[in-house]
Chain A
Amino acid sequence: MTGPARPPVLDELRAVVRDPATIPRAWKAAGGKVAGVRCLFAPEEILWAAGMLPYPLPGSPEPVRLADAWLQPCTCEYVRNLLDHALDGRLAFLDLLALSNTCDITRRLLDVWPQCMPGTPVHLVNNPQKLLEDGNRQFFLEELRRFQARAEAVSGKPVTPEGLREATRLYDETRALLTELYGLRREDPPRLTGPEAFVAAFAASILPKDRANTLLRRLLDELRSSEPPDRFGPRILVTGSALDDPALLELIEEVGGLVVADDLCTTSRWFAHPVGTDGEPLDALWRMLNKRTLCACTFPTEARFDRILAMVDEFHADAVVQFNLKYCHPFLHESQPLRKRLEARNVPLTILEVGHDRSGFGQLRTRIQAFLEMVEQP
Chain B
Amino acid sequence: MITLGVDVGSLTGKAVVLRDGEILAWEVILTGPDSVETATTVAHAALAKAGLGLDDMTAIVSTGYGRIVVPFAQRNVSEISCHAKGANRLVPGVRTILDMGGQDCKAIRCDGTGKVTSFVMNDKCAAGAGRSMGIVADLLKIRLEDLGPLALEAPGDGVPVSSTCVVFARSEILSYQREATPKSEILAGACTALASRVLGLVKRVGLEPEFAITGGIAKNVGVVRRLERALGVEARIPPEPQIVGALGAAIFARELAEKKAKRGDRGAGERRSSLGEGGSS
Contacts and interface: CB of A to CB of B under 8 A. Distances in A.
Contacts, number: 76
A139 interface: no
Interface residues of B, number: 23
Contacts of B58: none
A254 B77 CA distance: 13
Contacts of A366: 65, 78-80, 121
Instruction: Summarize A's interface: helix, strand, loop or mixed.
Output: helix
A377 B85 CA distance: 12
Contact of A196 (B78, B80, B81, B280): B280
Contact of B280 (A1, A365, A369, A374): A1
Given A370-B78, A370-B80, A374-B117, A10 B281 contact: yes
B281 A2 contact: no
B118 A374 contact: yes
Interface in A317-372: 353, 360, 362-363, 365-367, 369-370, 372
Given A251-B279, A366-B78, A373-B116, A256 B121 contact: no
Contact of A250 (B81, B104, B118, B281): B281
A80 B281 CA distance: 26
Nearest to A2: B277
B274 A254 contact: yes
Nearest to B115: A377
Interface centre among B77, B79, B115, B123 (most CB of A within 10 A): B123
B275 to A, nearest CB: 10
Contacts of A10: 281
B264 interface: no
A367 B121 CA distance: 8
Given A14-B281, A199-B281, A250-B279, A370 B119 contact: yes
A246 B116 contact: no
Contact of A363 (B68, B121, B274, B279): B121
Interface of A: 1-2, 6, 10, 14, 193, 195-196, 199, 231-233, 246, 249-251, 253-256, 353, 360, 362-363, 365-367, 369-370, 372-374, 377
Given A255-B272, A366-B121, A370-B79, 15 more contacts: A193-B281, A195-B280, A199-B281, A233-B272, A250-B278, A253-B279, A256-B272, A366-B80, A369-B272, A370-B119, A373-B81, A374-B80, A374-B115, A377-B115, A377-B116
